[in-house]
Structure 1
Amino acid sequence: MPVDPTPLMGVVVDVEESGDGAASLGVQLSAHDVSVSVAVAARRDRRQILHGVRAEFAPGSFSALMGPSGAGKTTLLHALRTGRCTSGTLHANGAPYTKLARRLIVTVPQDDILLPGLSPLEMLHYAAQLKLPPALGGAGRLARARTVLLQLGFTDEDMATRIGSVDERGLSGGQRKRVSIALELLTNPPVLLVDEPTSGLDAKMAHDVVSILRALSREGRTVVCTVHQPSSRIFASFDQLLLLAHGRVAYCGPVDVSGEYFGRLGLPPPSHENPAEFFLRVLQDDDEARGVDLLGAWARSDERARPFGWREQAAADRAPAAAASAPAPDDAGSGRVSPAVERAPGGLQPQLLPLPLPALDGGSVYAVSRAAQTWVLLRRRLYEAAKDRTKLGRSLVLKLTLGVLVGVIWLDSGRDASFKAAFPTSGALFLVVNNCVMDTLFETVLQFPLQRALLGREYANGTYSLGAYYVALQASNLILSALSSALLALPVYALVGLAATAGQAGYFVLVLALMSLIGSSLGVIVGATTADIDSARSAIVPTLVPLLIFSGYLIPLEKIAPYFKWAYYASFFQYALGALELNEFGSRVYTRDCPSQVAAEAAYELVHAAYPALPLPPLPTNFTCDGTEYLRAQGLFPPKYGGRRGYALILGGYLALFLVAAYVVLAARMRRLVLRPS
């Protein structure tokens, strides 16, 4: 029985009851003379992408956005998602978009941005903990995740299979696309915007995915898809068609009358040809259009004033509960259900069962608190790392191997009683510090494209706050960095023979962990500001190499030219190396090759050479010196900055600076991703 429209978050939402008491939301999107322009890089002007687009997308409808490459399809989809445009208006059920109203609209991106190491059920379970209210409880969230996957045709075996990717073995491309859709169905969104759902799929998989999307629309959802060149079977599955060319509308109306409209313009689609291919061809080729101004013809047409006529026919177009199981056409006019929809294990009916209304409580844009978001994201990241045992094991083994290699090369140099062993020992410390930064930096940069894409998807769809993600990211980095730093430090300590007191060993690991976190923060900055690995490498090398050169090990401070001394004081490598040298040599005592002994022996030989007959007393054999003499030669003694604690605080300050900078850069990147037309 129909219920009166309910005002929700500034949007009037039509609520209908289904036969089993579940409810579905109906949201109509409308674009009124929408134009979008973007700033052009390296120029001060703007480029117009959309020009006066007018369209409506009603509940229960399955709509296609089509047009040549660069026509503005994805830009329009982005505008419908955010409600933002340069001019014109975008409405949801006749009201302007609000921040909370955007929770009703979700986007499924073209690329299947998933965590390849997880299974579909694990992926959805973590998403459910972020998207669904705590009142459901852990069992309720897991049940919802299973229900959605079952509705999309997944078996228990499929749910437990590793997702994988194009490069990693796992689910098929069509299954990954269905997981991508399932992630957004957890909250039962009334509006689903799907970018190129058939991209990269074969004909069978593409039709299965489109059948699922059509079935979802029959539950009362507004489903809008961008499609590039659909087959005739897929094209016939859509109810409505919006054709774009050069950012302008060439047609906006029902699919089944599109051929009639073009026929009135003298361009009837050939009976033997796929209408979608014909429309795209005449939009791209002036010769095929036979001189017809398609864009101008639509702008002057009577249909433009009311594109689909949904205001008057919303009730008829919206599928009632009795028709929720209406099959997607397997071919034009066919009544068979696609196997992807038909296969429903566990006794479910061959249909997509309605889900409860999404939780929209208290005006919060998130289903759970930020603290809960952080905890879930931290667990997901650590679980992902632990589940990929090959990758994690390889990383930890490499750290351990490097520690052993350094230990073997500098074997027992820390135990050597000769003062001459101090400088080689510093070499081991320098190499370890360098590795901690570079290793974590490049590892973060290499992983960041996937992490950035996943963050962009989940953040844009309102799954969690950026702050929660960032805290979880750095907390997981801290845990993993502490583990890898310990694996590196243990063999170095044991084989090189570094200062073995608990306090000194703990300080050593602390410095390495700080440097690892600095490296990961720099990796976030570089990853967020560069497009690919090559450009990231181009940014890393000229930035870090000078800091390494002027760290005080390769060139002592007194040998650095005055106009480069600023680089020494700016280098965090210098402070890390200084901290470890203070930690190592501050309590070290040497009994051989001490500076005083070397000076005495040199003087003894000079006197003996000048006066061979002069009897000289034997040289003393009990020369001793401590590590402070080496530290003094390095400019580290008397201790500066308050000694070891001061150096640790300076490194902590560098870390805080890079953490803040990384967050600011990441926030700016996400803001551009979410707000700008793409």
Structure 2
Amino acid sequence: MSHDVLTPDDALSEPQEQNTQPLSEDYKSDRTQVETEKSPPKSTDKERIELPKEPLLKPYVPNENVHAQIVEDDLEEAQNRFRVDSTQTYTVAEDFKALEDIGKDKKKKEKSSEGKRKRDRVLRWKGITVEEMKKKRVERTILDDISGHAFGGELTFIMGSSGAGKTTLLNVLTGRNKGSLRTNGEISLNGRKMTSSEMKQLSAYVQQEDVFMASQTVSEVLHFAVKMRSPERLSKKRRENLVENMLTTFGLKNCENTRVGSVKEKGISRGEKKRLTIACEILTDPPVLFCDEPTSGLDSFMSHQVMKCLKDLAKEGKIVICTIHQPSTWVYQMADRLVVLCQGKVAFEGRTKNVEAFLVKLGSPVPDHASVSDHFIRVLSRNVREQQTDYEARMQKILKTQLSKDRLTLSESVRYQKSKDKNLRKKIHRSWCFQFFALIGRGLVQITRRKKYILARLILTVLVSWFLGMVYLQIPINRDNLLGIKGVIFATLQMNNILYMMPSLISFWEDYAVVVREYQSNMYSPSAYFMARSFTDSLLHLFYPIIFFSIIYFMTGLPITIIGMSTFLTMCIAMSMIITSLSHAVVSLCGNVTISLTVAPLISVPVMVFGGFLITVKAIPIYYKPLSYISWYHYAFEANMIALFKDHGVIEGCNQTSIMTSAMNMECSTGLKLIEDQDFDVDHFWMDFVAVGAILVFWKITPNNYYNSTISLKVVCGEKFYCFIWCRNPCRFP
């Protein structure tokens, strides 16, 4: 075990009377000093609750294995934790064994034991070093040998100027968004070394940006989160009671029926969004809560309200760690501990009450009527007139003054032997079918509320079909108009690119950030969302093609036959669904909407060129033949031509006797001859339906795997994520 190391809190605090019985060295900390300071120097037996043969102070910090056992119990219960109301939690083991029997009332003893158990949690990080890699070389060091700790029941701030490494440290602690960064160091909870997967099991992460479905109300967001995250399927009454308690606890009762909104759509305030995000994340009652810039973009009052919610959660015994740039005085006074970063190193780590004394020791006391946090950040910042050498020398002085060193080393960490391997993979409580139908229900509600979007696409469909119908208005089927007839049939298929590809691609990607957040929260799998979204979009693409068909078919005067009309309508619907599914596939594969707008035409245009209108099948060069075989335009065009002209008979204006002698009459004869001249085969009619159906199924199902990979890579890589096809050094799973 290591020897005691002097910390700023030790150096700056008044000497305290030490207890005669030593504590476990791994857990000697500022917490022990606080408890000693709070207890009177001389207490009577009546004033102190005594245990048999031992004073109370020592049992408060039990041995390492007891602390490690708390973590093991937390991991066992992680999959089934859930808040049944605003103050209680549901777990597999609902009551904890009392540490000592002191002869008190059973309920009070259990409550005291549980509260003490929660506050016994200590999160430590030792020697955290983060380096940005580029071409297998260290581009720069973001964090350099960072150490610190946080306690249960306390609110810890990670402060620093922009670029100091606050968010990077938080991401390392949570095991998220590491990307291509190389990290070293150790993270432990109660002396037990924690892996990234284990930390994710025991923690919740409130990201800086609050992302929700803009069309959902506050109440609907909480109802959906409760329904998807509860370990057991709650009744409607219990779910409503829980949501009601959450709304009241987080001050969201007045806006429960207000839509969340977005940048483009007015909704609730940013402070209410932040409280809603916190409410969704603590549903599983995690022992550790991480928040990235919870007050970013909020005014002083809203910041105070958000931090008050976090402070109340800390009072429940949780470890609450927040990154914060420059808090107001009200917000700063709520913090129990402070970690200040400067140039990727620790400038201060300790209790907030010792910050002013620390600044005095640096020779920069806090001026009268000045905020401590503002002054500290100002001390760490470079003045405009200050030379770089002077600034670096001043920073070295600050870093040397910071004496806080974490006592936990690799050799001191508890090696807790597991009796059996634990499955630490993410567990989604609801079945895939339940997720699928729940997401369909939410998707349908979302569609009904996106009235402007639906109206805009409806107007676009009407205008394009009307414009195309006016170009070929009541075109007669005769020798002079055969090229125009084929043109309108193929143009109908081609217009699906304009009508459905780009809108579908953009709208599908709008919810991407929401899906990432909800997937991280174990609400549902990406495959369930993809299939549900594909299904709801398909409902829209049953509606728009019918309108498109109704306008253009009758305006152009195509033959009114059952087989012709049904085939034409079927192919319009199939083309719209294929194009939409292709858009989903491209954006899922690329992982970036800007790149997708470039890639999508690269796929659709070649198959359209070899669809049979611009060049016949036999005239296609042999090296381009495969494109005609996978072209859905080819099969749809062939089916429409067969359905419309198979039984047409002699085409008006054609002279059958001159067809062999006049090159101008090559395409002029019967409907069958017109089909043959296009290199189409009448016997392929039903095969065309099969081919179009197979292509539709392919684009509906296959992209599901790409979407799963995209979401998973985004969760692992964070902002460093790039499409694994376009990136030379893609991020990899750890």
Cα deviation digits, residues 569-624 of structure 1 (max 9, x gap)? 4544333333333343334334412362664997999xxxxxxxxxxxxxxxxxx9
Q: What's 1:243 paired with? A: 340
Which whole-Å CA distance do the structure 2 matches of 1:381 and 1:429 have between them?
Answer: 33
Which whole-Å CA distance do the structure 2 matches of 1:263 and 1:634 have between them?
Answer: 90
CA contact (8 A) 2:563 2:643 kept: no
Q: What's 1:432 paired with? A: 492
Q: 1:602 to 1:302 in 2, by over 3 A?
A: closer
Q: What's 1:211 paired with? A: 308
Matches within 5 A, 1:10-409: 10=75, 28-40=122-134, 43-47=135-139, 48-82=141-175, 86-93=183-190, 94-97=192-195, 99=197, 102-156=200-254, 158-285=255-382, 287=386, 292=393, 294=395, 298=399, 301-305=402-406, 365-409=427-471
Q: What's 1:672 paired with? A: 713
Matches within 5 A, 1:251-650: 251-285=348-382, 287=386, 292=393, 294=395, 298=399, 301-305=402-406, 365-413=427-475, 416-498=476-558, 505-528=565-588, 534-557=594-617, 567-594=627-654, 596=656, 599=659, 626-637=670-681, 639=683, 643-650=684-691
Q: 1:230 to 1:503 in 2, by over 3 A?
A: farther
Q: 1:476 to 1:263 in 2, by over 3 A?
A: same
Q: 1:440 to 1:91 in 2, by over 3 A?
A: farther
Q: Aligned letter for 2:675? A: L
CA shift for structure 1 position 504: 5.1
CA contact (8 A) 1:482 1:509 kept: no
Q: Which moved more, 1:8-17 or 1:499-508?
A: 8-17
Which whole-Å CA distance do the structure 1 matches of 2:282 and 2:617 have between them?
Answer: 61
Q: 1:523 to 1:602 in 2, by over 3 A?
A: closer
CA shift for structure 1 position 221: 2.3
Which whole-Å CA distance do the structure 2 matches of 1:247 and 1:125 have between them?
Answer: 41
Q: 1:460 to 1:236 in 2, by over 3 A?
A: same
Q: 1:552 to 1:51 in 2, by over 3 A?
A: farther
Q: 1:302 to 1:564 in 2, by over 3 A?
A: same
Q: 1:185 to 1:645 in 2, by over 3 A?
A: farther
Q: 1:268 to 1:363 in 2, by over 3 A?
A: same
Q: 1:221 to 1:363 in 2, by over 3 A?
A: same
Aligned-partner SS, 2:326: coil
Q: What's 1:611 paired with? A: none
Aligned-partner SS, 1:135: coil
Which whole-Å CA distance do the structure 2 matches of 1:56 and 1:11 have between them?
Answer: 24
Q: Which moved more, 1:122-131 or 1:401-410?
A: 401-410
CA shift for structure 1 position 410: 3.1
CA contact (8 A) 1:192 1:223 kept: yes
Which whole-Å CA distance do the structure 2 matches of 1:149 and 1:56 have between them?
Answer: 32
Q: Aligned letter for 1:275? A: V
Q: 1:68 to 1:650 in 2, by over 3 A?
A: farther
Cα deviation digits, residues 391-430 of structure 1 (max 9, x gap)? 22332343344444444443444xx442544432332332
Cα deviation digits, residues 457-495 of structure 1 (max 9, x gap)? 111222221222222122222222223223322333444
Q: Aligned letter for 1:8? A: D
CA shift for structure 1 position 632: 1.6
CA contact (8 A) 1:433 1:512 kept: yes
Which whole-Å CA distance do the structure 2 matches of 1:169 and 1:498 have between them?
Answer: 47
Structure 2: 5+ residue stretches without partners? 1-48, 50-59, 61-65, 79-92, 97-106, 413-421, 720-734
Cα deviation digits, residues 60-79 of structure 1 (max 9, x gap)? 22122222323222222222
Q: Aligned letter for 1:54? A: S
CA shift for structure 1 position 159: 0.8
Cα deviation digits, residues 217-239 of structure 1 (max 9, x gap)? 22222222222222222222222
Q: Which moved more, 1:239-248 or 1:397-406?
A: 397-406
Identity, % of aligned positions? 25
Aligned-partner SS, 2:235: helix
Which whole-Å CA distance do the structure 2 matches of 1:561 and 1:10 have between them?
Answer: 63
Aligned-partner SS, 2:265: coil
Which whole-Å CA distance do the structure 2 matches of 1:69 and 1:511 have between them?
Answer: 56
CA shift for structure 1 position 384: 0.6
Q: Aligned letter for 2:714? A: L
CA shift for structure 1 position 132: 1.6
Which whole-Å CA distance do the structure 1 matches of 2:283 and 2:345 have between them?
Answer: 35
Q: What's 2:20 paired with? A: none
CA shift for structure 1 position 375: 1.4
Aligned-partner SS, 1:303: coil
Q: Aligned letter for 2:225? A: A
CA contact (8 A) 1:419 1:590 kept: no
Aligned-partner SS, 2:267: coil
The alignment of Structure 1 onto Structure 2 pairs a total of residues equal to 602
Q: 1:122 to 1:435 in 2, by over 3 A?
A: farther
Q: What's 2:55 paired with? A: none
CA shift for structure 1 position 39: 4.1
Structure 1: 5+ residue stretches without partners? 312-359, 606-623
Which whole-Å CA distance do the structure 2 matches of 1:504 and 1:190 have between them?
Answer: 65
Aligned-partner SS, 1:365: coil
Q: 1:250 to 1:426 in 2, by over 3 A?
A: farther
CA contact (8 A) 1:196 1:225 kept: yes
CA contact (8 A) 2:203 2:287 kept: yes
Q: 1:506 to 1:130 in 2, by over 3 A?
A: farther
Cα deviation digits, residues 248-294 of structure 1 (max 9, x gap)? 32222222212322432334343443333333334342849755464
Q: Aligned letter for 1:673? A: K
CA RMSD of aligned residues (A): 4.0
Which whole-Å CA distance do the structure 2 matches of 1:135 and 1:209 have between them?
Answer: 30
Aligned-partner SS, 2:130: strand
Q: 1:272 to 1:142 in 2, by over 3 A?
A: same
Q: Aligned letter for 1:632? A: E
Give the TM-score taking structure 1 as reference length. Answer: 0.77
Q: Aligned letter for 2:405? A: R
Q: 1:206 to 1:408 in 2, by over 3 A?
A: same
Aligned-partner SS, 1:380: helix
Q: Aligned letter for 2:218? A: P
Which whole-Å CA distance do the structure 2 matches of 1:199 and 1:604 have between them?
Answer: 74
Which whole-Å CA distance do the structure 1 matches of 2:676 and 2:612 have between them?
Answer: 13
Aligned-partner SS, 1:477: helix
